[in-house]
Amino acid sequence: MERKFIRNFFIRMLILLLAVIAVVVVFDPFYQYHKPLPGLKAVLTDKEYQCIGTLRNFDYDALIVGSSVCENYNNGWFDTAFGCTSIKAIRSYGATADLCYLLDTAYEEHDPKYVFYNIDPSSLSASTEPTYVSTGCPMYLYDRNVFNDYPYFFNKDVLLEKIPYMLAFSFIGDYDEGNSYNWAQWKNFNEETATGLYIRLDEISPMQPETANAKELAGNIALLTSQVEAHPETTFKFFFSPYSMLWWDNAYRSGELEAVIYNEKQAIRALLAYDNAEIYYYQDDEPVITTLDNYMDMIHFSKDINYYIFDKLSKGEERLTEENYEERLDGMRELGYQIGKNYP
């Protein structure tokens, strides 16, 4: 009798566990195994958990690649303007190695015709090693070993929060799939908020040599050019987003301004050598970067600025060439000095 009870108990537990796994696999809110089921929307709010799966399993022929400043683009803007189907490949830090990791994943089973790639200044001096492991990302989702996915299968947040959340947004309200990972609606963008989050350095540090990050710079440029070179069928549209005057003031006071401009010049020079690479520059848009009502901190701007950048990009405006890039970057250097010396 006791033996039968134990056997039935374990059979029922096994059935329950298999049922839990089946629910997670069928609905798959992190899109590890398939794209959304018919009738369900792609509800994308957790990039560290969902981005890698969407790159493997979704249908797309274009990528919006970058750091958190790219999260507030609407995919539909690009789809309409460029005649494509786009998804986002986002990493908050925006380090080159991390973004190239996502690109490598995308290219495993897709052949994008466009890559819209935001280059953050810090990404050119960052480590050339991916940071997913060191920052505690759920690597069981990043590898292809289904046998270590048990933290996904047996997770009460997935069962009781993520799946109901996906179902609710699919059938209730007007959730826009193009607003994947969007956070702008929850933030305040105004001068008071931006300056309140800016801790200005008390003293001005000596200006660093422009080659202060030469080793890291060379490695990151190699990562970028290797992507462009390996995929001649893709048009890479690289662009530099407009950080606020607070960021440029900090670059001046920390002594990093000359190195920032040098790094960008070297990266642009290298990328301009490729026919399938285009570079667009929006950092020196003085009316935008000096209007702090556009920002929530030194870097992050409102969705209106995301659309402003997209609109210019779609029209091919502010494109850099061999003939004009040095002049534009020299102008940004001068503007950075003006901001630092005359900061109100």
- Residue 248 pLDDT > 80: yes
- Residue 119 pLDDT > 90: yes
Question: What are the tens digits of pLDDT across the range 273-330?
Answer: 999 999 999 999 999 999 999 999 999 999 999 999 999 999 999 999 999 999 999 9
- The first and second tokens of residue 253, run together, are 């006071």
Instruction: Please tell me the pTM assigned to this model.
Output: 0.95
Residue 141: C-alpha distances to residues 32, 48, 49, 54, 97 (Å): 7, 9, 7, 11, 18
The pLDDT confidence band at residue 1, using thresholds 50, 70 and 90, is low
The pLDDT confidence band at residue 205, using thresholds 50, 70 and 90, is very high
Spatial contact of 239 and 313, defined as CB atoms under 8 Å apart: yes
Question: What are the tens digits of pLDDT across the range 30-64?
Answer: 999 999 999 999 999 999 999 999 999 999 999 99
Q: Percent of the chain scored above 70 by pLDDT? A: 99
Spatial contact of 283 and 289, defined as CB atoms under 8 Å apart: yes
Residue 220's pLDDT is: 98
Q: Percent of the chain scored above 90 by pLDDT? A: 93
- Residue 8 pLDDT > 80: no
Question: Could you tell me what percentage of the chain is helix, strand and coil, using 3-state DSSP and rounding each to the nearest 5?
Answer: 55, 10, 40
Residue 7's pLDDT is: 78
pLDDT mean over 243-265 = 98
What is d(CA 129, CA 181) in angstroms, rounded to the nearest whole number? 25
